[in-house]
């Protein structure tokens, strides 16, 4: 009798255990059943972009593209628990995940992460790719085609200049296949004002690209003189953490610590910007040190170029050594810094300071910088 009771008890435990395992692994059993059963049925997979308006993307890893794969049978019924694999035909970037199982609604999501465009060895012409979803174990697939394009360029001019100051450089960069634009802002209203205008400009640019079917996440900025301070102010702000839309900044003769020439300029001009450009102004001693990474965002790649004999920016003022960024110096003209020029105000014409925007050697170096990884600023501990 006791033996019989023990046997019944064991059987009861086994039954409970079986039901528990069935309950816990019900979905896995469903997956196995669906895979086995539907292997013999005519299935279809349909791959589409979440944003169906997009046909091109600026190619850099943060500019991710999201796609959806849907599996249906010949009657149009959504089929769950089907394994789908994903790939892009030229291995330009990566799929995450590379395999997925359709959910109870017969769909699964996947993300395409592009590589940096300059790693594709494709020049600067749009590079077509195909992203394919395939039902595992079959030749049933669906493909979405996209074009990869270089990151757009935005030029930011300096004090009392306009976008025209970049005409020659813009023509050179555009001839290499880049899409370029320039922000025009009132440079007399201060660096903070310029930074707000830059934020709005980049947002407008993204919307404009999207209206043309091009998904843009970040821009490369080429900035001159005070324009570099505008870029630093914006990319160091709290708003930037939300936008995160700058990939590189290439500084051209930027007075990162102000310009002694601004003190002379105050005799000719009376506006907020000229006062901010004076060394030891609150912008340099109070504001920048209290922005992201002491005023040079460590998530943005940096290049720093200076013209030799620059009348506005000294080597010391242009230096970013604090962040471990090298300053590259280019000869673009003779030394015009004389006492007479200083006293009569002719030095304000600054031929070398502007000459960096019209020099073929500088142009070639900028093009190289656009086509390679640049250093990130070292993190500064306050």
Q: Are residues 182 and 141 both part of a single domain?
A: no
pLDDT band at 123; cut points 50, 70, 90: confident
In Å, how far from its chain's centre is CA 231? 15
Which tokens hold the place of 154?
A: 């935005």
Q: Is residue 163 included in any domain, yes or no?
A: yes
**Does residue 7 carry a pLDDT above 60?**
no
**Which has more pLDDT, 123 or 211?**
211
Q: Are residues 95 and 219 both part of a single domain?
A: no
Q: Are residues 296 and 254 both part of a single domain?
A: yes
Q: Is residue 114 included in any domain, yes or no?
A: yes
Q: Are residues 115 and 163 both part of a single domain?
A: no
pLDDT band at 13; cut points 50, 70, 90: low
pLDDT band at 261; cut points 50, 70, 90: confident
Looking at residues 241-251, what average pLDDT do you find?
97
Q: What is the CATH number of the domain that holds 60?
A: 2.60.40.10
Q: Is residue 77 included in any domain, yes or no?
A: yes
pLDDT band at 351; cut points 50, 70, 90: confident
Q: What is the CATH number of the domain that holds 261?
A: 3.40.50.1820
Q: Are residues 138 and 162 both part of a single domain?
A: no
Q: Is residue 62 included in any domain, yes or no?
A: yes
Q: What pLDDT is recorded for position 263?
A: 75
d(CA 338, CA 42): 84
d(CA 209, CA 217): 10
* Number of domains composing the chain: 2
Q: Are residues 138 and 178 both part of a single domain?
A: no
Looking at residues 51-65, what average pLDDT do you find?
94
Q: Are residues 199 and 322 both part of a single domain?
A: yes
Among 102, 124, 149, identify where a domain stops. Answer: 149
Looking at residues 217-238, what average pLDDT do you find?
97
Q: Is residue 20 included in any domain, yes or no?
A: no
**Structural domain for 96, as ranges:** 43-149
Q: Are residues 168 and 293 both part of a single domain?
A: yes
pLDDT band at 262; cut points 50, 70, 90: confident
Q: What pLDDT is recorded for position 264?
A: 73
Q: Are residues 334 and 289 both part of a single domain?
A: yes
Q: Are residues 134 and 82 both part of a single domain?
A: yes
Among 112, 127, 149, identify where a domain stops. Answer: 149
Q: What pLDDT is recorded for position 260?
A: 84
Q: What pLDDT is recorded for position 89?
A: 79
pLDDT in tens, 75-120: 899 999 999 999 997 778 999 999 999 999 999 999 999 999 998 8
* Cross-strand pairs, 68: 48, 109
Q: Is residue 381 included in any domain, yes or no?
A: no
3-state secondary structure 274-312: HHHCCCCCHHHHHHHHHCHHHHCCCCCEEEEEEECCCCC
Among 116, 149, 182, identify where a domain stops. Answer: 149
Q: Are residues 222 and 339 both part of a single domain?
A: yes
- Among the residue ranges 25-29, 64-68, 115-119, 253-257, the one predicted with the least confidence is 25-29
Q: What pLDDT is recorded for position 211?
A: 96
**Does residue 3 carry a pLDDT above 50?**
no
pLDDT band at 8; cut points 50, 70, 90: low
Q: Are residues 124 and 160 both part of a single domain?
A: no
Which tokens hold the place of 371?
A: 């086509």
Looking at residues 321-345, what average pLDDT do you find?
75
- Among the residue ranges 20-34, 214-228, 289-303, the one predicted with the least confidence is 20-34
Q: Rounded mean pLDDT of the chain?
A: 88
Q: What pLDDT is recorded for position 27?
A: 47
pLDDT in tens, 166-205: 999 999 999 999 999 999 999 999 999 999 999 999 999 9
Q: What pLDDT is recorded for position 85?
A: 96
CA dihedral 60, 166, 181, 373 (to 10 degrees): 0
Instruction: For residue 95, give the H/E element and its range.
Output: strand 94-96
Q: Is residue 169 included in any domain, yes or no?
A: yes
DSSP state letter for 212: T
CB within 8 A of 319, min separation 6: which ones? 256, 257, 327
Q: Is residue 171 included in any domain, yes or no?
A: yes
**Which has more pLDDT, 15 or 353?**
353
Q: What pLDDT is recorded for position 346?
A: 47
């Amino acid at each position: 009798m006791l033996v019989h009771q023990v046997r019944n008890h064991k059987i009861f435990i086994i039954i409970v255990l079986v039901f528990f395992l069935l309950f816990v692994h019900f979905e896995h059993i469903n997956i196995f059943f669906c895979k086995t059963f539907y292997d013999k049925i005519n299935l279809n997979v349909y791959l589409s972009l979440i944003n169906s308006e997009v046909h091109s993307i600026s190619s850099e890893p943060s500019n991710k593209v999201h796609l959806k794969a849907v599996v249906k049978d010949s009657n149009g019924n959504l089929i769950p628990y089907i394994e789908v694999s994903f790939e892009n035909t030229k291995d330009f970037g990566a799929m995450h995940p590379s395999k997925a199982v359709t959910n109870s609604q017969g769909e699964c999501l996947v993300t395409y992460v592009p590589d940096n465009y300059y790693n594709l060895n494709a020049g600067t012409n749009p590079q077509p790719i195909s992203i394919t979803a395939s039902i595992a174990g079959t030749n049933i697939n669906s493909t979405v085609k996209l074009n990869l394009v270089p990151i757009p360029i935005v030029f930011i001019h300096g004090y009392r200049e306009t976008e025209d100051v970049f005409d020659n450089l813009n023509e050179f960069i555009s001839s290499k296949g880049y899409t370029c634009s320039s922000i025009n802002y009132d440079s007399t209203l201060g660096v903070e004002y310029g930074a707000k205008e830059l934020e709005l400009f980049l947002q407008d640019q993204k919307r404009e690209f999207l209206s043309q079917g091009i998904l843009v996440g970040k821009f490369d900025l080429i900035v001159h003189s005070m324009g570099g301070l505008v870029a630093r102010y914006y990319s160091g702000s709290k708003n930037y953490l939300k936008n995160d839309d700058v990939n590189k900044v290439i500084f051209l003769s930027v007075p990162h610590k102000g310009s002694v020439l601004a003190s002379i300029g105050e005799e000719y001009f009376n506006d907020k910007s000229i006062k901010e450009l004076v060394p030891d102004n609150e912008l340099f001693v109070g504001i920048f040190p209290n922005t992201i990474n002491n005023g040079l965002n460590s998530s943005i790649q940096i290049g720093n170029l200076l013209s030799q004999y620059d009348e506005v920016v000294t080597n010391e003022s242009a230096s970013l050594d604090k962040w471990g960024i090298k300053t590259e110096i280019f000869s673009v003209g003779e030394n015009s810094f004389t006492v007479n020029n200083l006293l009569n105000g002719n030095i304000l014409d600054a031929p070398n300071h502007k000459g960096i925007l019209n020099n073929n050697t500088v142009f070639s170096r900028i093009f190289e910088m656009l086509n390679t990884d640049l250093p990130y600023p070292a993190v500064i501990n306050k």
